[in-house]
Structure 1
């Protein structure tokens, strides 16, 4: 069968910039899915997107479906023919529905299941005929924001569609999509190249559009912007702050990006840098510039969507626009400084945290008490932790955070320092929100750790207590993120805290709740921990081996999990895991449940018994200090030496001896073996289930 290269381009009004990358990927995925469903095989798929277009280029596509075999089952033979062998109305009706005479039907003879069958070979459709409906179906599944209609038509899309290109090699695919007929004419830059761009074949696409001042490849355009912005900042003696989200958005706003450097008055630098940067990025889509020491320079980089004949005027226009924005930030800062941060705490009484859990003031009361309790147990300063809890949400009532909500915590830290609060309290106000996302940094101060833990514990307990348990698709209070942040602080900061105890203390800060939350929250957080390990490639068997001991200290769980995971890869691991499983089964059937110390060497009858006892006795002295130091990897490495004496024991010793004393002694020996491994985990669970 023949193959051809395919190009589809949908030309629109400017698409939503924050959704452009997702729309590009979804369109390509949709075309892959629709072609595969139509049995059209294909090669490489390239996806492109710019403000006014979505496109896919598909190489080596099959130009016709394979022939389709159609088969329909009809009535049973007994019901299809009468006693004289003449077709009944059932047979005649079935033949008529298939468009053939009864004689054209096949008889499928399988005893009682014998029936009439219609079989036909239907020629496969050409890609040329199929393509319009495949494209339309792919577009229908795009994750678009609110759709709209345009003109007098009834078709809907996220933006009005102005042109459509559909090429199979050098031929235009006749047809229309969403009411727009296909052709070979694309369009270039709205101002720099307004004439139609004629495409002869798919391979021309990127080059022809580049000549028309459109960089159609989103990733190439993004790299071009990043490189140009960095170069413009370097020319100023600084370094551009290349925020990924902003870079994506600017890429989605420009077809022909041209970075330009501007400046603003130096007196604005008296405002905290984060506020200026939020204003530049959020309102104007400008890239801030820092000096070598990380301080903000009074410069910015804007990205124009054209090459101007007078770039000086373009820069001047952007400088005029940024001044009132920065002036607003300066005004908010000045207004906020008219009263200390602590004075805003009373206003928190007017803000509902959650309808059934009180106000933000109530939350800060709970956070102050819980932060104090936590600080005492992790070696922090209890007075500073309590103060940080009291001030933790005050900046939410500031003018600056009201305008730029992403500055919560950041402005609180600035205002606290300016008010003369302790530096660690100020740092904690910012650090309470860390980590904010996967891979984010952690709090650096113990006060920040205490407040960050308290905030997450209070949220989890309170929301679960109101019966608002998150689901896989719905988590409006960000409880999954809170649980992961809680775990990361405890584990990565090495805080030896009992999770169940912490949850119980958080619960004590509330009155009556609809649901007792401690155990459900504990299970939820532990499940998040299991998912974290799965992402790291650690199997569920390893996790369950540790959790068999019912531990509740996350940092200790983490040490055990990594130790067991390391042990699992040792050559002795599976043999010892199988032996432990055998031991567990034997001990489960023991009527006396002997203690690990009740071993009488005088009752040994086999050399293997004495050898195993000696090995266990020696290892107990080795293992005890390792366990005390939480060196679980060292513990399991030492216990791995037991493989030979354990194998010899099971090869030569009959555990269920007829003599009751002998049997009990052997059970006790195995209980001592099991107890040594149990110091770390139940390694019998490493054995695959049968």
Structure 2
């Protein structure tokens, strides 16, 4: 079957945009084809710094013919209805329609519309220009004289050529005939800008990828990454060193070169006095290079790996020397920052934070630090930390934000603070908290274990949440500019991973009160936000969201550790036969109550009369006794946080509930008996609420 080859060649595409752009190109073209009825066998997109390419295999040469029957109005319908039918069906008169008789509705018109299958080449020529003109680049530009014209082509960088061919492997493919932005699709592309600048004619994908390889272009970004990684490892190994691997940097570098050439540079060993993280940040950020370790050691080596886009005649000596000069200058700056920062104690930097605005509605960084310090001190006893150490760590936690090193490399905040605090002789837990109070910053990030770090981390995140809730800057949809979802997830992970017993409403209230004079957060609303984040977190671990809702629906559920344990026990109970049957019985009781309460315009929420129950059916008496006992036992179990015991108490209700619905008529003729039986059903509803709100449970 025929294949499509599409290449869009331009000036350099930013590395950060390439992968997404390739995925977008594939999705846009394949979705458009499928929507038109053209199915395919496989598709793959590629990107380099200067091109996006797409190969779609197994497309039909022609679309299938379409036969559609369209029913019209009844015979004798108003003229307007008839004309609308003719226009929609593409008919010029009723002579082109048929008349069909329906035994129930009488005679009506029917149009049989037959459309021959379209040539795939024509369809491609129609859809590809529109996709190119409307391509969703995050940023795009116009260029040249045509840029002043309305509707002129926009692209991430000036588009230079288009290859678009379609046809079977056994024949010469045809060019897809279209023009976009003054560029006509053809069969000519170009290889590496410097190593192979001559034009290349290509017709099909296999020829294309081989021709690019000969012209010093590796089309597949994953293969470029593989080349860079293996060559870097081999070069490091040959020098007795280990590569410090960096997946993010590898992705970026592979998007900067079409023909990767791995080289090694070096720098003066005296620079190794700078913290390793600062060396790595300097070399990574400024030169996009990889650092190296001494073999079998965590110590950095005075060398680095760079990736060139050229095969140089001198073996890369000039390229390496140029990179070494820049690295030397950057490391000299880093060394100056390091030495300068060490000369000033962290405590002495705090007044500067009073002049830096954290948020116009929440005051300065200095004011925020004061709030975090007070909150950390209050939290400390609850997490097993020393209050004085927690307060001191919180006061110093943001001091490195005004250091030279963090000003140059913001990603080193916390880490550099820890190093400065260690050099200045602060307590080990204080030093750890300065670095770790930002953690965890994601679902896979490490959770601190030092109690002082935990206290400061909680205080930092709770202050952030309470503050932005107080000024009504909550996340909306996909927008979360202040990373509040991440902060809430951080609190959840700190509590659950470290088994902490905290009343969130109390802590949010304490954080809110420290805002002094601002509007104030709604603690219940913020607790609901935590509940939503907890649902996401537990759902990823396999828990049911409806069980979380069922537990959170009970009053006072702000101890997240106990919420999770209750959810776990509830899930285990509902997996048993007793649990499933009790849930079914509850739902039956709830439905009856809902119907009867609406009909009687009253709530059946009082306690049942045990004397009346005893005088009724045996199953009625048995249920009354079982409910009283189960509710008392479940309540006592919940009070001592024995949720499995509470579920076990509820499990004893299965048999009496089943017997009640089998043997007892709820809507008895005697009004008093009927009322008492409805109150018995309410007692079942009340008993289950000792452990969860069963009305929230699905199934």
Q: Give the alignment's TM-score, normalised by structure 1.
A: 0.86
2:567 is matched with which residue? 561
Out of 179, 186, 192, the position equivalent to 1:189 is 192
Which residue does 1:149 correspond to in 2?
Answer: 142
Moved more, 661-670 or 484-493: 661-670
8 Å contact from structure 1 (residues 577, 684) kept in 2: no
Name 1:295's counterpart in structure 2. Answer: 299
Tell me how far 1:448 sits from its aligned partner: 1.4
> Could you tell which deviates more after superposition, 28-37 or 182-191?
182-191
Deviation string, structure 1 residues 481-527 (Cα, Å, up to 9, x no partner): 21221222122221111111111000110122235432332222222
Structure 1 counterpart of 2:22:
24
Q: Which of 485, 489, 496 is residue 490 of structure 2 equivalent to?
A: 485
Q: Which residue of 2 aligns with 1:606?
A: 618
Indicate how the Cα distance of structure 1 residues 150 and 639 shifts in structure 2: closer, same or farther if over 3 A, else same. Answer: same
Is this contact kept in 2: 1:105–1:117, CA < 8 A? Answer: no
Change (3 A) 1:609 1:300: farther
Q: Would the alpha carbon gap of residues 382 and 219 (structure 1) be closer, same or farther in structure 2, given more than 3 Å must change?
A: same
The alpha carbon displacement at 1:675 in A equals: 6.3
Q: Does 1:304 align with 2:304?
A: no
- Paired residues of 1:257 and 1:306 also in contact (CA < 8 A): yes
Give the whole-Å Cα distance in 2 for the aligned partners of 1:502 and 1:24. Answer: 47
Counterpart Cα distance in 2 of 1:239 and 1:9: 38
**Match in the other structure for 2:412:** 407
Please say if residues 380 and 447 of structure 1, whose CA atoms lie closer than 8 Å, have aligned partners that are also in contact: yes
Instruction: Say which SS state the counterpart of residue 285 (structure 2) adopts.
Output: helix
CA distance in structure 2 between the partners assigned to 1:675 and 1:80 by the alignment = 65
Distance in 2 separating the partners of 1:680 and 1:473? 34
Unpaired stretches in structure 1, ≥5 consecutive residues: 82-89
The 1-side partners of 2:40 and 2:14 are apart by: 30
1:357 pairs, out of 352, 357, 362, with 362
Counterpart contact for 2:100–2:110, Cα < 8 Å:
no
Secondary structure of the 1:294 match is coil
Q: Cα offset for 1:94?
A: 11
Counterpart residue number, 1:632: 643
* Corresponding position of 1:579: 585
When the two structures are aligned, how many residues end up with a matched partner? 675
- TM superposition shift of 1:618: 9.1
Question: In 2, Cα distance between the equivalents of 1:326 and 1:271?
Answer: 8
CA distance 1:80–1:263, change in 2 (3 Å): same
Structure 1 stretch displaced more, 148-157 or 22-31: 148-157
Render the CA deviation track for 1:182-238: whole Å, top value 9, x for unaligned: 222332222333333332322333333223322211222223323333333344444
Shift of 1:533: 3.1
Deviations 1:267-323 (A, max 9, x none): 212111111111111111111223534333322222222334413443333222211
The answer on whether the counterparts of 1:75 and 1:94 sit within 8 Å (CA) in structure 2 is: no
Cα drift, residue 113 of structure 1: 12
Q: 1:517 aligns with which of 499, 507, 522?
A: 522
In structure 1, the partner of 2:662 is: 651
Helix, strand or coil for the counterpart of 1:61? coil
Contact 1:612 1:649 in 2 (8 A): no
Q: 1:357 to 1:313 in 2, by over 3 A?
A: same
Distance change in 2, residues 1:591/1:98 (3 Å): closer
Q: CA deviation at 1:650?
A: 4.0
C-alpha separation in 1, matches of 2:94 and 2:526: 70
CA separation in 2, counterparts of 1:69 and 1:610? 68
2:123 matched to which residue of 1? Answer: 130
The equivalent of 2:288 in structure 1 is: 285
Q: Distance in 1 between matches of 2:75 and 2:129?
A: 41
Following TM superposition, by how much is the alpha carbon of 1:607 offset from its aligned partner in structure 2, in angstroms? 7.6
- Of residues 519, 541, 558 in structure 1, which corresponds to 2:546? 541
Residue 4 of structure 1 deviates from its aligned partner by 1.1
Shift of 1:369: 0.4
Q: For 2:458, what is the secondary structure of its paired residue? A: helix
Distance 1:599 1:285, change over 3 A: farther
Q: Who is 1:276 aligned against?
A: 279
User: Relative to structure 2, which stretch is displaced further, 431-440 or 226-235?
Assistant: 226-235
- Give yes or no for contact 2:129–2:179 (8 Å, CA) kept in 1: no
SS at match of 2:207: helix
1:681 alignment partner in structure 2? 692
In the alignment, the residues of structure 1 paired with residue 92 and residue 29 of structure 2 have an alpha-carbon distance, to the nearest angstrom, of 40
Q: Who is 2:499 aligned against?
A: 494
Three-state SS of the structure 2 residue aligned to 1:303 is strand
The answer on whether the counterparts of 2:129 and 2:178 sit within 8 Å (CA) in structure 1 is no
What is residue 607 of structure 2 aligned with on the other side?
A: 594
What residue is the counterpart of 1:552 in the other structure?
558
Task: Measure the CA separation in 1 of the matches of 2:615 and 2:522.
Answer: 53
3-state SS in 1 of match to 2:284: helix
